[in-house]
């Protein structure tokens, strides 16, 4: 089917300090609810009913809709775009959503009005590139943006910068490219900022994942003249040019982007949700466990819930899943955005998401502590963990070499790789215990000072 009106999202804009406190209301269109092919945007938080749903977080956007909005790089370009046009006032989450181009993750479009024939004016506010410049020219445009991210040195906004704008997630510069054999993201380096070839390191990390039985996105690094290397990533939310329904693990977990609270940022919780969402939960839960172990081995601490996603099977019966919704019609996406040591040679002692009963700590004990949530026995989980450790320790140096990683970058990256129980840094739990003991000692010392008799003069 073509673009279909699904519902109406109304956002009452509000800003408290620099925090977007907008309130949102969403309601499915009656015409959509009558369609035999109607599907819920989120089978948990936005089930197919005629009621109104209200949202007070994420700038008033339902999480399944927020998944379509740009992240750091896209937001930077949108701010630059508005500044150049002297459009005053704060930008709200809904503004970023509407300004994002049509390459959004998933299959949603947005309209703020209607055409003369009464049909929705889809993506009228979307900033779209006229053409994709040559690769080296793109690198030069990236350099321009990074030197002057908000245009404070001049309000000139070359039209070519539109080509750099993407609604796809992530902080790194990237562009969207539609080719005959699929749709690709071209991830570029940051000129003057990258000290390593992140493209080649990500290529090597993803290849390593494939070698240990993980379904991965199709990637490949390529040189870009005098500019940093580029990485091509085939989009898994596209079937040719067809857009597939996608939600992030942030949505599945009912979490938000607050990296300080990290509410529900948890591998075991995500595994439990796969029991509800996935059409093949046993396979997807083992895949998730393998991803967790590999990221721990590679010290990839950027494993936040937006770096995992679920794709709905487009061949599923529209709304005949479990409980009359799309539950049971999704699969864990291929692994993506995995870079050893974050490209900086950092050996991590914790991941971004909780691993087990000891929180985010990287250790064999913690990885095994809640393996049952992944549908794995202790013996099976131990075998998988040993398999991945052995493969990374023995094969990763060769993979780095095969991907064209320089000797210097390879040596830096291998500093981040170590057995799970042999981390150079103190573990997260050790640091926490030490901090608690220090505070207890300080409190005891302070109490002792108060009870000491005053010296006699």
Burial class (CB in 10 A: 0-12, 13-18, 19+), 429: middle
Judge if 275 and 401 occupy the same domain: yes
Q: Could you tell me if 197 and 228 lie in one domain?
A: yes
Tokens of 224: 């870009």
Decide which of 216, 234, 252 is a domain's last residue: 234
> Which pLDDT score, from 0 to 100, does residue 90 have?
87
Residues 266, 412: one domain?
Answer: yes
Cβ–Cβ < 8 Å for 314, 243 = no
Greater confidence (295 vs 231) lies with 295
The pLDDT of residue 192: 57
Q: Taking 70 as the threshold, does the pLDDT of residue 137 lie above it?
A: no
Which of 233, 246, 132, 223 shows the shortest CA–CA distance to 182? 233
Q: Band of the pLDDT at 319, cuts 50, 70, 90?
A: very low
pLDDT at res. 87: 73
Distance CA 289, CA 283 (A): 10
Same domain flag for 344 and 385: yes
Same domain, 30 and 110: yes
Q: Which residue has the higher pLDDT, 149 or 291?
A: 291
Residue 18 DSSP SS3: coil
Structural domain contains residue 2: no
Identify the three-state secondary structure at position 172: coil
**Considering only CA atoms, which of 206, 198, 190, 99 is closest in space to residue 149?**
190
Q: What percent of the chain has pLDDT over 70?
A: 76
The model's pLDDT over 424-448, given as tens digits with 9 standing for 90+, comes to 444 445 555 555 656 666 676 666 5
Does residue 444 form part of some domain?
A: no
Same structural domain for residues 207 and 247?
no
Q: Give the total number of structural domains in the chain.
A: 3
Q: Which residue has the higher pLDDT, 140 or 167?
A: 140
- For residues 404 and 281, membership in a common domain is answered with yes
Residue 3 pLDDT class (50, 70, 90 cuts): confident
Residue 446 within any structural domain of the chain: no
Residue 457 has pLDDT above 50, yes or no: no
- Domain boundary among the residues 213, 234, 255 is at 234
Helix axes 281-297, 198-211, angle to 10 degrees: 130
Does residue 186 share a domain with residue 255? no
214 and 304 together in one domain: no
Distance of CA 150 to the CA centre of its chain: 24
Residues near 185 by beta carbon (within 8 Å), at least 6 away in sequence: 166, 168, 174, 175, 176, 177, 232, 233, 235
Q: Which two tokens stand for residue 180?
A: 């005959």
More confident residue, 237 or 318: 237
Give the residue ranges of DSSP H helices in 6-134.
30-33, 63-66, 72-84, 93-99
pLDDT of res. 253: 98
- Domain membership of residue 445 (yes or no) is no
The values of phi and psi at residue 223, to 5°, are -70, 160
Residue 428 and residue 310 share a domain = yes
Q: With bands split at pLDDT 50, 70 and 90, how would you rate the model's confidence at 295? A: very high
| Segments forming the whole domain that contains residue 340 | 242-433
Mean pLDDT of the chain: 83
Alpha helices per DSSP H over 93-132 = 93-99
Structural domain contains residue 130? no
Of 200, 234, 268, the position where a domain reaches its end is 234
User: Does 180 map to a domain?
Assistant: yes
Query: Is 229 domain-assigned?
Result: yes
**Per-residue pLDDT band at 323 (split at 50, 70, 90):** very low
Is residue 456 in a domain? no
CATH code: domain of residue 254: 1.10.1070
Does one domain contain both 295 and 378? Answer: yes
pLDDT digits over 177-219, tens only? 777 778 888 887 765 556 668 889 999 999 999 999 999 999 9
Whether 264 has a pLDDT exceeding 70, the answer reads: yes
**Do residues 277 and 411 share a domain?**
yes
pLDDT surpasses 70 at 126? no
């Amino acid at each position: 089917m073509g673009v279909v009106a699904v519902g109406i999202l109304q956002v009452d804009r509000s800003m408290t300090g620099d925090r977007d406190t907008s309130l949102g209301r969403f309601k499915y269109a009656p015409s959509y609810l009558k369609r035999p092919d109607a599907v819920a945007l989120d089978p948990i938080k936005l089930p197919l009913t005629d009621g109104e749903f209200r949202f007070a977080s994420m700038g008033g956007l339902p999480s399944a809709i927020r998944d379509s909005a740009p992240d750091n790089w896209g937001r930077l370009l949108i701010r630059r775009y508005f500044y150049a046009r002297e459009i005053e006032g704060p930008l709200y989450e809904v503004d970023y959503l509407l300004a994002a181009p049509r390459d959004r993750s998933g299959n949603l479009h947005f309209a703020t009005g209607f055409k003369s024939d009464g049909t929705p004016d889809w993506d009228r506010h979307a900033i779209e590139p006229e053409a994709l410049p040559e690769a080296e020219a793109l690198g030069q445009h990236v350099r321009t943006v990074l030197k002057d991210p908000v245009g404070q040195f001049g309000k000139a906004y070359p039209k070519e910068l539109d080509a750099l704008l993407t609604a796809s997630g992530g902080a790194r510069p990237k562009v969207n490219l539609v080719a005959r054999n699929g749709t690709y993201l071209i991830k570029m380096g940051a000129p003057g900022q990258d000290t390593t070839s992140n493209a080649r390191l990500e290529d090597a990390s993803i290849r390593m994942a494939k070698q240990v039985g993980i379904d991965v996105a199709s990637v490949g690094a390529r040189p870009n003249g005098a500019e940093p290397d580029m990485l091509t990533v085939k989009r898994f939310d596209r079937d040719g040019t067809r857009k597939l329904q996608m939600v992030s693990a942030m949505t599945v977990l009912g979490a938000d982007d607050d990296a300080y609270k990290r509410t529900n940022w948890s591998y075991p919780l995500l595994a439990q949700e796969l029991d509800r969402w996935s059409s093949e939960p046993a396979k997807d839960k083992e895949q998730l466990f393998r991803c967790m172990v590999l990221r721990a081995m590679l010290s990839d601490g950027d494993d936040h819930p937006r770096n995992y996603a679920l794709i709905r099977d487009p061949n599923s019966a529209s709304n005949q899943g479990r409980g009359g919704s799309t539950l049971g019609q999704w699969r864990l996406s291929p692994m993506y955005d995995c870079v050893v040591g974050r490209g900086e040679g950092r050996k991590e002692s914790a991941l971004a998401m909780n691993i087990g009963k000891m929180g985010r700590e990287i250790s064999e004990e913690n990885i095994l502590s809640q393996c049952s949530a992944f549908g794995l026995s202790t013996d099976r989980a131990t075998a998988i963990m040993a398999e991945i450790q052995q493969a990374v320790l023995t094969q990763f140096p060769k993979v780095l070499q095969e991907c064209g990683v320089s000797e210097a970058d390879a040596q830096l990256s291998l500093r981040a790789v170590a057995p799970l129980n042999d981390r150079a840094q103190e573990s997260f739990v050790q640091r926490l215990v030490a901090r608690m003991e220090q505070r207890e000692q300080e409190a005891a010392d302070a109490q002792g000072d108060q009870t000491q008799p005053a010296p006699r003069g």
